[in-house]
Chains A and B, each alone.
Chain A
């Protein structure tokens, strides 16, 4: 009789819960017939991902995730859903003609990734890090030293988005 696997620790149980929640909400996003429900599921997924970041001790990322994704992007998506009245109360199918083939393709991709991830002996545990304020400070420092080009280009991108998107979305009157 093979030895029983060790009991999962509290951290592993919490991770399993968060992972299940995230995956279930992600399924909700792509399967929901009502688009607003899809948006709510997206918010749940984003919270789940933020919780995963916390488990990975990247708390600043977790809070940025909530601030930008939930606070801003999800709100924008909801606005767009309401502005375009694309609710689809089950009158027409939310899927296009190729959904069967696509579903098969997605399942195959997942299985391939699963096999790939499972076949490589990844690290089971990581060295402990001290995720204190100085780490966030170092993150800030990296933005303006090592990655300053990317940082400024991102600023430019945001500027272009601000100008372009406003021009696109305005009422022409």
Chain B
């Protein structure tokens, strides 16, 4: 749209070699898509390594350190091991659903990389509806989880599949609505448009720190929390609670098929952190991206630093927090996050129509965000207090008799 893009450049190069326009563009697209997909699959190895290192440091361990520098090649060895493992297909599994699920789950994540802007002009395609594209294709993962759970003909897998869907559905709403606050302010759904909105030009020099996360911290926080839930990371990893569900919906998968689910999960976490970097932390924006020549290279650097930093932050949260119960998970999504985001949207919609200069409007939006955070924190404190009281009561001997009810009233599925 604005400025040259990589596909134009590559196609131009190919037409220069004497190829017809259509074919040149097709080849350029093919190369670009192939690189992007492979980037996704290979970066999963790096992401798994980062995860292991981060978690082990938090638990006072060393993590992988044998193979290669800092154990970098450990995940490569793991991949080689997984590829040479036997693929066991449980009897009575449904052929279609069982085999399509791992492929679809990877597909649904890799296709999202097509709209992630890495630098100015370096984005797979800058769709007009980029934001909604990401949200919509997230539903492939939901279907894949249901297919895996049902297809493997295992009670625990189906149960976990149901839990996955319930959780992903619940947290998709706050996520979509927090994205809506960004779209409401920027007035565009294309990722490059949103990124360019976050520049801060002073005296002709692009400082690139007009990040939306500064103006709307509450929306950013809500997005981060929902992205944790969407990526099935620890405070919300009750879908894979090993003590209850053995391993989650992919319990019956082994070898490469299991690896596909694993890969999808890690790449999904990274894509979500990249999204947060784009929407709230300026994506490739940073000091000096407006400069000719060096600008795009700086942009790639800024983007990857931000995305990986948020990824590490996710792992930090994962290594720190305990797991929530399913009723707490639902409570948090529907009774805290959704009302908070809806309130935020209504307030922001009114504020943006007030007859003030834009700095005043930004200040008002910021105040609304702070207010939202305060309300949420107060509500949570109250909830945690009552929860603590309940836990304490349930350990008192008198109430022990009260808990001996019919088992089904306590069942959590």
**Within the complex, are A and B direct neighbours (CB within 8 Å)?**
yes
Interface on A for B, CB 8 Å cutoff? 10, 34, 36-37, 40, 43, 59-60, 63-64, 66-67, 70-72, 74-75, 78-79, 82, 131-133, 136-137
Please give, as numbers and ranges, the residues of chain A lying within 8 Å of B172 by CB-CB distance: 71
Interface size class of B (residues with CB under 8 A): 20 to 34
Q: How far is the CA of A138 from the CA of B129 in the complex (A)?
A: 14
Please give, as numbers and ranges, the residues of chain B lying within 8 Å of A40 by CB-CB distance: 96-97, 143, 147
- B274 shortest CB reach to chain A, Å: 20
**Best-surrounded residue of B96, B97, B129, B189 (most CB of chain A within 10 A):** B129
Q: Do the beta carbons of B22 and A10 come within 8 Å of each other?
A: yes
11 extra A-B contacts, CB within 8 A, seeds A40-B147, A43-B143? A37-B97, A40-B96, A63-B132, A63-B133, A66-B137, A70-B136, A71-B138, A75-B165, A79-B162, A132-B128, A136-B128
Question: B129 contacts which of A34, A82, A136 (Cβ < 8 Å)?
Answer: A136
With A71-B136, A133-B190 as known contacts, state yes or no: A59 contacts B143, CB within 8 Å.
no
- B169 interface residue (CB < 8 Å to A): yes
- A77 shortest CB reach to chain B, Å: 11
Q: Do the beta carbons of A74 and B143 come within 8 Å of each other?
A: yes
- A136 shortest CB reach to chain B, Å: 6
Q: Do the beta carbons of A59 and B165 come within 8 Å of each other?
A: no
Please give, as numbers and ranges, the residues of chain B lying within 8 Å of A34 by CB-CB distance: 94
Considering only residues 145-164 of chain B, those with a C-beta below 8 Å from chain A are 146-147, 150, 158, 162
Please give, as numbers and ranges, the residues of chain B lying within 8 Å of A10 by CB-CB distance: 22
Q: Closest A residue to B128 by CB, please name it.
A: A133
Q: How far is the CA of A159 from the CA of B250 in the complex (A)?
A: 37
Considering only residues 41-97 of chain B, those with a C-beta below 8 Å from chain A are 94, 96-97
Q: Closest A residue to B187 by CB, please name it.
A: A137
Q: How far is the CA of A78 from the CA of B190 in the complex (A)?
A: 32
Please give, as numbers and ranges, the residues of chain A lying within 8 Å of B254 by CB-CB distance: none
Question: A75 contacts which of B128, B143, B187, B190 (Cβ < 8 Å)?
Answer: B143
Please give, as numbers and ranges, the residues of chain A lying within 8 Å of B158 by CB-CB distance: 82
Binding site of B, secondary structure by majority: helix, strand, loop or mixed?
Answer: helix
- B208 shortest CB reach to chain A, Å: 23
Q: Do the beta carbons of B139 and A67 come within 8 Å of each other?
A: yes
Q: How far is the CA of A59 from the CA of B169 in the complex (A)?
A: 23
Interface membership of chain B positions 2-26, coded 1 if the CB is closer than 8 angstroms to chain A and 0 otherwise? 0000000000000000000010000
Q: How far is the CA of A36 from the CA of B162 in the complex (A)?
A: 14
The 8 closest A-B pairs by CB, nearest first: A71-B139, A66-B136, A67-B136, A63-B132, A133-B128, A63-B136, A70-B139, A63-B129
Q: How far is the CA of A67 from the CA of B142 in the complex (A)?
A: 12
Binding site of A, secondary structure by majority: helix, strand, loop or mixed?
Answer: helix
Please give, as numbers and ranges, the residues of chain B lying within 8 Å of A133 by CB-CB distance: 128, 188-190, 193
- B324 interface residue (CB < 8 Å to A): no
- A143 shortest CB reach to chain B, Å: 14
Q: How far is the CA of A74 from the CA of B147 in the complex (A)?
A: 12
**Best-surrounded residue of A37, A43, A133, A137 (most CB of chain B within 10 A):** A133
Q: How far is the CA of A88 from the CA of B143 in the complex (A)?
A: 21
- B127 interface residue (CB < 8 Å to A): yes
Please give, as numbers and ranges, the residues of chain A lying within 8 Å of B97 by CB-CB distance: 36-37, 40
Q: How far is the CA of A34 from the CA of B153 in the complex (A)?
A: 14
Question: B139 contacts which of A36, A60, A75, A132 (Cβ < 8 Å)?
Answer: A75
Q: How far is the CA of A132 from the CA of B128 in the complex (A)?
A: 7
- A46 shortest CB reach to chain B, Å: 10
Of the A-B pairs whose beta carbons lie under 8 Å apart in the complex, a sample of 27, sorted by A's number, is A10-B22, A36-B97, A40-B96, A40-B97, A40-B143, A40-B147, A43-B143, A59-B128, A59-B129, A60-B128, A63-B132, A66-B137, A67-B135, A70-B139, A71-B138, A71-B142, A71-B172, A75-B143, A75-B165, A79-B162, A82-B158, A131-B128, A133-B128, A133-B189, A136-B129, A136-B189, A137-B187
Q: How far is the CA of A35 from the CA of B218 in the complex (A)?
A: 43
Please give, as numbers and ranges, the residues of chain B lying within 8 Å of A75 by CB-CB distance: 139, 142-143, 146, 165, 169
Q: How far is the CA of A11 from the CA of B2 in the complex (A)?
A: 26
Q: How far is the CA of A43 from the CA of B101 in the complex (A)?
A: 13
Question: A36 contacts which of B127, B150, B165, B169 (Cβ < 8 Å)?
Answer: B150
